Amino acid sequence: MARCFCGCGRKIAFSWRPINTSGKRVSKELAAWELRNRIIREQAPDTSRRNIETFIADGVGLRDSLIEIVHGEADPSSFDADTMRAWLQFSWKTRRELGV
């Protein structure tokens, strides 16, 4: 049985694996952006920094929502999977372009 992507150690039922996998993907992207954001804070203009910080905050919100669903604290139907997919696609594309 799989374990929760957040690291809490909870066992995840087979039916929850797709959501758990999505949580892993979002978490991985956030880790890459948070590392990149440390560098950008020192080098980028304020506008770029604010845009990146907003983007990261959006990802944190997605990750937190996925954690709530996997932990049984929120209804999966309340989650907007299209928004998550768009966020992930933009993240992958932009990180490729930036060489991150």
Q: Which residue has the higher pLDDT, 33 or 5?
A: 5
pLDDT given at position 3: 93
Mean pLDDT of the chain: 87
- For the whole model, what pTM was predicted? 0.82
Which residues neighbour 29 within 8 Å (Cβ) at sequence distance 6 or greater? 59, 88, 91, 92, 95
Q: Which two tokens stand for residue 54?
A: 């907003």
Tens digits of per-residue pLDDT, 27-43? Answer: 999 988 887 776 666 66
pLDDT given at position 84: 95
Q: Which two tokens stand for residue 51?
A: 């845009």
pLDDT given at position 96: 83
